[in-house]
């Protein structure tokens, strides 16, 4: 397997689009239930935990860029082969693909669960699954540039939902945030860790980086995309804490979605129905990007055609969707992905960076001695 990826000019994308890619893959289904998990750990100081998590996220992104900058045009799969050898490198790359696959399954099942809870309790999971998988296949068949175009359009198509939070925002009780700074530092860190599922996804940078045309401009849109995701999660959590009582928030799995229930219009009785349906525009880019990461990763490592992998993988997902429709299974899978993702996304880059730097230093020293 080649370490550096050779990408045709017509397949490259501008660094500008990294903002939409990072934001879209982070803000999927995780933000819908994040306030409950963060509040359980940090209580009314949850906003501090989110700020801590964002600071750490920026540090992880910095480390990822440092790793990528050591190579001409490599992704995480090539870097691991270069550092650990072909055999171990491919095993680690396979772990990455399995993680992406588990993350995608959790996103699909979570959205199906939300649709069944809020709109159609009796609808079959398989019917919704077929609809989602069909849309994913259609987008990925168009290639990465089509995927980025869909992400770009859906970003603007979904963000109007923010304006609907005005009504619950003006009804917030500021007393819910008092007393300030009551959570201990360990509790704040636990709250920050509770954001790991919601903030995850930006690790796709390690796969998509070789496709960036103007890499010297890649950092700003990536950091700004992470900042945008941070802002959305902070807004959703703060409004949830201010609007719901502590007892309510600890029991609300979909706190952010529940905020839309109070929105009332003369011509719409249940506006949350529209929000759940519209949320597909939030979740679908997340699903598409994860499926692309899976199929591209398999193609990169094992030379299996991406379209063939896409069809086989989609068929497997439909079987899993039919078998894993239980709410408890969805919760356990999400917790599993969150725990595994914490180590892969937030810890592993700090282990990999010094190894990469040491190897590059050793290579330069060897080249200077031989020269």
How far apart, in Å, do the first and last CA atoms of the chain sit? 27
CA distance readout (Å), 253 to 22, 36, 95, 110, 132: 25, 6, 29, 11, 23
Residue 126 lies in a domain: yes
Q: What is the dihedral sign for C-alpha 88, 94, 98, 103? A: positive
The mean pLDDT value for 105-126 works out to 91
Mind listing the pLDDT tens digit for each residue in 58-103? 999 999 999 999 998 999 999 999 999 999 999 999 999 999 999 9
Residue 320 lies in a domain: yes
Q: What is the dihedral sign for C-alpha 27, 29, 32, 36? A: negative
Question: Does residue 268 have a pLDDT over 70?
Answer: no
- Tell which wins on pLDDT, 262 or 339: 339
Q: What domain count does the chain have? A: 1
Mind listing the pLDDT tens digit for each residue in 128-155? 999 999 999 999 999 999 999 999 999 9
pLDDT at position 47: 95
* Nearest to 237, CA basis, from 280, 295, 192, 284: 192
Structural domain of residue 284, as residue ranges? Answer: 9-370
pLDDT at position 252: 86
In angstroms, rounded to a whole number, what is the distance separating the alpha carbons of residues 195 and 199? 6
pLDDT at position 267: 65
Cα 27 → chain centroid: 6
Residue 298 lies in a domain: yes
Mind listing the pLDDT tens digit for each residue in 159-205? 888 888 888 999 999 899 988 888 999 999 999 999 999 999 999 99
Confidence grade of residue 319 (pLDDT, cut at 50, 70, 90)? very high
| Domain CATH code at residue 307 | 1.20.1740.10
Residue 327 lies in a domain: yes
In angstroms, rounded to a whole number, what is the distance separating the alpha carbons of residues 155 and 158? 6
């Amino acid at each position: 397997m080649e370490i550096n990826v050779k990408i045709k000019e017509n397949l490259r994308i501008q660094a500008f689009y990294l903002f939409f890619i990072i934001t879209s893959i982070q803000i999927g289904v995780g933000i819908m239930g994040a306030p409950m998990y963060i509040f359980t750990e940090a209580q009314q100081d949850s906003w501090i935990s989110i700020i801590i998590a964002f600071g750490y996220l920026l540090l992880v992104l910095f480390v990822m860029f440092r790793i990528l900058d050591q190579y001409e045009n490599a992704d995480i799969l090539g870097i691991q082969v270069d550092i650990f050898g072909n055999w171990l490198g491919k095993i680690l790359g396979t772990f990455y693909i399995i993680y992406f696959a588990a993350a995608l399954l959790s996103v699909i099942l979570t959205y199906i669960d939300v649709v069944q809870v809020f709109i159609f309790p009796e609808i079959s999971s398989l019917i919704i699954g077929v609809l989602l998988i069909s849309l994913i296949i259609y987008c990925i068949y168009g290639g990465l540039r089509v995927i980025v175009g869909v992400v770009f359009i859906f970003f603007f198509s979904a963000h109007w939902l923010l304006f609907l939070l005005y009504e619950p925002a003006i009804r917030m009780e500021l007393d819910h945030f008092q007393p300030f700074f009551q959570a201990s530092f360990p509790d704040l860190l636990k709250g920050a860790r509770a954001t790991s599922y919601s903030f995850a996804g930006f690790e796709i940078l390690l796969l998509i980086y070789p496709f960036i045309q103007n890499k010297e401009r890649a950092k700003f849109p990536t950091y700004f995309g992470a900042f945008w995701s941070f802002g959305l999660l902070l807004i959703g959590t703060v409004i949830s804490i201010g609007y719901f009582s502590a007892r309510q928030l600890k029991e609300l799995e979909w706190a952010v979605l529940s905020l839309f229930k109070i929105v009332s219009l003369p011509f719409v009785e249940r506006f949350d129905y529209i929000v759940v349906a519209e949320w597909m525009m939030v979740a679908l880019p997340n699903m598409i990007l994860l499926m692309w990461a899976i199929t591209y990763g398999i193609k990169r490592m094992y030379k299996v055609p991406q379209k063939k992998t896409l069809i086989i993988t989609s068929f497997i997902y439909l079987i899993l969707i039919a078998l894993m429709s239980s709410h408890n299974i969805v919760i356990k899978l999400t917790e599993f992905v969150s725990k595994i993702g914490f180590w892969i996304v937030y810890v592993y880059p700090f282990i990999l960076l010094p190894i990469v730097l040491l190897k590059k230093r050793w290579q330069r020293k060897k080249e200077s001695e031989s020269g």
